Structure 1
Amino acid sequence: MLSDDELDRLLRDSDPDPGGPATDPDSAAAARILARVRRGAQRRRRRLLVLAPVVALTVAGVTAGTYAWVAGDGKGHTLDSTGLMCVGSDRSDAVLGFDPAADDPVRNCRQVWQEMFGEPAPRTLTACVDSSQQGSIAVYPGGPDQCGRHRADPYRGPTREQLGLAHLRTDLAKHFAGRTCIPHAELKRVIGQLLAKHDLDGWTSRHFQTADKEPEGACADISYYDEPERTIWLGDHKAGTPVHWP
């Protein structure tokens, strides 16, 4: 678990404008920052949990090489189909939005490689699913052997459910195009209709809450999609500003 000081530092580091006014703790921006911090903490926990069995195997006299990691769903599919990570040769990375219904991870990373890393894209790039908590799509320089070298599995493309979710995201953006304030009840109703349309059984939408339970604001937006939990998390939106559809 993070200490209070560590959580406070992570929140400050996540603030896009740390020198400006403090982020309103009741705002949608604060909810998204907290969600990112929690996901980062989960990734660190995952790494620690993965190391423990390796140590146990070594103590028992079994080589660590016999330990198998778990990447994504174990079948080459990500657990977070809305994001893509391009990993440079110096291990720096760039995170992009991703649409599994329209995008190709290698092509997307190749298009931004020069801009992100200051050098031409390598001749060969390979898409993998890493062994982080959310099983991200990660594109590495080199061939398929790079997946195993990074404790990852080759990416096999989206699942049927992930394609349905991608179409739902597109439909939401079209349905509410130009709107700057969408009441929570209306957004939930439309989400429910689209979940049924795209056969996303078991999915639901919920209002994101911090430790203190708070009422829904006048306007809503989407904070993030939790695919393992089949939950679309809604946040509060500031009226009059464009709605960002993740």
Structure 2
Amino acid sequence: MTIDDRALDDLLRRADPVSLEALPGGDQATAVRLLERRIQPLPRRRRYRIRVLVAVPVAAAVVGATAAAAVVLSSGPATSALSHGCYAAVSLHASTAVLGDDGGDPVDSCRRVWQTAFGQPAPAVLSACVSATGKVAVFPGATACRELELREFDGSFTAEAQRFAAFKRDAVAAMDGRGCLAVDAAAVLVRQLLTAHDLAGWTVDTGDQVPSDADRPCASLAFDEAHHVVYLPRI
């Protein structure tokens, strides 16, 4: 059913029965005020920002930082006894003198060769650290290990490193005591010593034996501690 405009007006008057004569004219002040009040913008609703507070476990963070520092500053044994390095400055890229292990204190060894290796007297204080490869590294100064984030060397070596050091001393002494030892005979000797020192997993590399090596009949020793290989190059 469709309602025409006249019927719609009549319905509106009955729903809001205000006499047209009671309404102020459009040019009267009251009408103007009513109109202005009607068209005023509605007050803006205040927006509230929700703040989320996150509780930070301060104690845990402090403990974590302290533990990290403890790891950096802790001391420990070296895992390699083959050699140690003497560094001219507190840097892993500084000039380095590499010394073979003689069973003594690495700091004392570096102090003895410092003048010859670097052309100046050894510093009053030297620090022994454990490098990332497990070897002893000696630097000038008392705080070198902390500055480089390395463990301090506690003066000891791991059990396997000690067994290897003993094996190396025995192998060198045995080879020297036999004069010119053929490669095959040297390989047998070295394997026996590896077994005696409980160094499982080590291998002996005799190299390629070719006729041109006839003028180099004697075996020598070389060690790859990182890969657990003993080489017997000809000399």
TM-score (norm 2): 0.57
Whether the 8 Å contact between 2:129 and 2:145 is mirrored in structure 1 is: yes
Alignment-derived partner of residue 10 in structure 1 = none
* Partner deviation per Cα, 1:209-234 (whole Å, 9 max, x = no partner): xxxxx3365432222232x3322122
Whether the 8 Å contact between 2:79 and 2:161 is mirrored in structure 1 is: no
* Partner deviation per Cα, 1:10-29 (whole Å, 9 max, x = no partner): xxxxxxxxxxxxxxxxxxxx
Is 1:165 equivalent to 2:164 in the alignment?
A: yes
The amino acid across from 2:83 in the alignment is G
Whether the 8 Å contact between 2:130 and 2:136 is mirrored in structure 1 is: yes
Of residues 75, 94, 97, the one that matches 1:94 is 97
Deviation at 1:77, TM superposition (A): 4.1
Matched residues in 2 for 1:166 and 1:128: separation? Answer: 19
Matched residues in 2 for 1:201 and 1:97: separation? Answer: 23
Whether the 8 Å contact between 2:187 and 2:206 is mirrored in structure 1 is: no
Of residues 155, 160, 176, the one that matches 2:153 is 155
Matched residues in 2 for 1:190 and 1:128: separation? Answer: 35
Alignment size in residue pairs:
157
Deviation at 1:126, TM superposition (A): 0.8
Alignment-derived partner of residue 84 in structure 1 = 84
The amino acid across from 1:162 in the alignment is A
**Structure 2 residues without counterparts, runs of 5 or longer:** 1-64, 69-73
**Structure 1 residues without counterparts, runs of 5 or longer:** 1-64, 69-73, 209-213, 239-246
* Partner deviation per Cα, 1:89-138 (whole Å, 9 max, x = no partner): 38322111113xx221111111111222222222211111223xx34321
Is 1:215 equivalent to 2:209 in the alignment?
A: yes
TM-score (norm 1): 0.55
Whether the 8 Å contact between 2:80 and 2:135 is mirrored in structure 1 is: yes
Matched residues in 2 for 1:85 and 1:163: separation? Answer: 18
Is 1:117 equivalent to 2:118 in the alignment?
A: yes
Give the CA RMSD over aligned residues.
Answer: 2.9
The amino acid across from 1:149 in the alignment is E
Whether the 8 Å contact between 1:130 and 1:151 is mirrored in structure 2 is: no
Alignment-derived partner of residue 229 in structure 1 = 227
Matched residues in 1 for 2:75 and 2:140: separation? Answer: 22
Deviation at 1:147, TM superposition (A): 1.1
* Partner deviation per Cα, 1:164-212 (whole Å, 9 max, x = no partner): 111112212222225453222211111122122222222221234xxxx
Deviation at 1:86, TM superposition (A): 0.6
Structure of higher CA gyration radius = 2
Alignment-derived partner of residue 18 in structure 2 = none
How does 1:33-72 map onto structure 2 within 5 Å? none
Matched residues in 2 for 1:75 and 1:196: separation? Answer: 31
Whether the 8 Å contact between 1:127 and 1:155 is mirrored in structure 2 is: yes
Alignment-derived partner of residue 127 in structure 2 = 126
Whether the 8 Å contact between 2:172 and 2:221 is mirrored in structure 1 is: no
How does 1:6-17 map onto structure 2 within 5 Å? none
The amino acid across from 2:227 in the alignment is E
Whether the 8 Å contact between 1:130 and 1:150 is mirrored in structure 2 is: no
Alignment-derived partner of residue 195 in structure 1 = 194
The amino acid across from 2:144 in the alignment is Q
Identity across aligned pairs (percent)?
A: 33
SS at match of 1:85: strand
